[in-house]
Amino acid sequence: MRKNIVAGNWKMNKTLQEGIHLAEELNNILKNKKVSCDIILAPPFTHLASIAQVVDPKLIKVAAQNCSDKEQGAYTGEVSAEMIKSTGASHVIIGHSERRQYYHETNEIIKNKITIALKTGLNPIFCFGELLAERESNRHFEVVKTQLHESLFALSPDDFSKIVLSYEPVWAIGTGKNASVEQAEEIHAFVRQELQKKYGQQVANDTTILYGGSCKPSNAKELFSSADVDGGLIGGASLVAADFMGIIESF
Ligand code: PEP
């Protein structure tokens, strides 16, 4: 059975002290609440070890927002999957559109990152999705299919089962304009079909596919009610405990 997940991507926001405060606040709320999804926080690299120490791993898991495509060595400024793992983090976001767009990450680079993360024992949260121009020219299915095939489909079924997918239409990220339930469901169902063709029905059924892009307490319930939407990757609305809890409680 696939898991429902709500993950918060803090991006380049919050000082270490602010981040620890928010993680503790969420942990305290969750201690006294029964929720119906797994929760993951993805703070900046500098906060990972401290946040992994203040949260109860049964309530909150910790993810990095990126990792190097190299294992170790003379790569100034890079952070390896092994370093991330040593902080206590269990997950890593790979292929976020901001990495693709501003840091020129290709499907090939993303594939290498996925391979290294899996080898290290981290669970990748793989982000994919089309640009506005690609949707407007009706190429969104083709773009998504290529992203999946080029970055993931060389994986063994066992490795693939450790991956969480997150559909993030680029035009919906940070814009306030979320995909409609129909638009999200259509792509999620298409992705599940592609998984079925490549890995079989069981893997297709068991893979968690999140939606990301301007998800907030007011639209989460509707988006998560879709058959193939198993939760969200949340940017802006993960920075305030009440908003993030509002989304978590949509399940
Ligand atoms: C994201 O960056 O993954 C994201 C979904 O951002 P936002 O929720 O702010 O659109």
- For ligand 1, atom 2, the nearest C-alpha belongs to 235
Ligand 1 atom nearest to CA at 212: 5
Q: Residues with beta carbon inside 6 Å of ligand 1?
A: 9, 168, 173-174, 212-215, 233-237
End-to-end CA distance of the chain: 16
Residue with tokens 């409680």: 249
Give the pLDDT confidence score for residue 1 in this predicted structure: 85
- Burial class of 27 by CB neighbour count within 10 A (0 to 12, 13 to 18, 19+): middle
| pLDDT of 58 over the 90 cut | yes
Integer Cα distance of 85 and 120 in angstroms? 7
pLDDT on residue 225: 96
Residue nearest atom 1 in ligand 1 by C-alpha distance: 235
Q: Which of 5, 40, 168 best tests ligand 1's pocket when mutated (most atoms within 8 Å of CB)?
A: 168
Residue 137 structure tokens: 């020219």
In 32-106, alpha helices (H) = 48-54, 81-86, 97-102
CB atoms within 10 A of CB 218: 13
Instruction: Dump pLDDT digits (tens) for 125-182.
Output: 999 999 999 999 999 999 999 999 999 999 999 999 999 999 999 999 999 999 999 9
Task: Give residue-wise pLDDT tens across range 2-52.
Answer: 999 999 999 999 999 999 999 999 999 999 999 999 999 999 999 999 999
C-alpha torsion 85→88→94→97, nearest 10 = -140
- Distance from the alpha carbon of residue 96 to the mean position of ligand 1, in angstroms: 10
Joined tokens for residue 207: 């893979």
Give the ranges where 47-127 is alpha helix by DSSP (H).
48-54, 81-86, 97-102, 107-120
Pocket test of ligand 1: the residue of 5, 6, 9, 41 to mutate, having most ligand atoms within 8 Å of its CB, is: 9
Centre of ligand 1 to C-alpha 74, Å, is 32
**Where in the chain are the domains?**
5-248
Residue 67 has pLDDT above 90, yes or no: yes
The pLDDT of residue 197 is: 98
| CATH fourth-level superfamily of 5-248 | Aldolase class I (3.20.20.70)
Q: What is the pLDDT of residue 216?
A: 96
Kindly report the average pLDDT of the chain as a whole number: 97
Confirm if 103 and 93 have CB atoms less than 8 A apart: no
Question: What single-letter DSSP state applies at residue 97?
Answer: H
Q: Would you name the residues annotated as active-site residues?
A: 96, 168
Range 197-209 average pLDDT = 97
